Amino acid sequence: MFGTFQHSHLRIEVEASANQLSRSLLVPAVFSQWLAPQRFSSPLPQRLGEGDRYRSYLGPLTIDHQVQVATDQQLRLILSGAIDGFHAWHWGDGWIQSRIEGISILPLGLGHSLSLARLQQHLKAS
């Protein structure tokens, strides 16, 4: 476990329904598009569910994800590897809230802001 403890909590308004947000966060074929340049292990399920595990790669860094909660309005991931902590998402019609906490050498606040901006762009293009 290298790095420092970091946390970021963001809430933004988006022009999207809760169903669109759910699809963007729980369907790997969709989230792999807007989370580029991250790559993901395969095979991934068609839709994330509790207990699912997968791995993402950001350059030489690896992050293991375990889905703790996956519903139509929330997702909670336990993270290990390059980030030791958790990432929680909550959403509804027109808004999304995300919180990440963990120990990492990565700049979590910057990555968190960039990923939400990419999601917002993805939703506008959809």
pLDDT tens figures, 99-121 = 999 999 999 999 999 999 999 99
Strand 74-81, strand 61-70: pairing: antiparallel
Query: Checking phi first, is residue 29 left (phi over 0); if not, alpha (psi -120 to 50) or beta?
Result: alpha
- pTM of this prediction? 0.94
Q: Would you place residue 2 in the very low, low, confident or very high pLDDT band (cuts 50, 70, 90)?
A: confident
Give the separation between CA 90 and CA 113, rounded to whole angstroms.
16
Domains by residue range for the chain, with CATH: 4-125 (3.30.530.20)
What is residue 1's predicted lDDT score, i.e. its pLDDT?
A: 65
pLDDT tens figures, 19-39 = 999 999 999 999 999 998 899
**For 90, what's the count of Cα atoms within 13 Å in the CB-facing half-sphere?**
5
Which residue is it, tokens 């027109």? 94
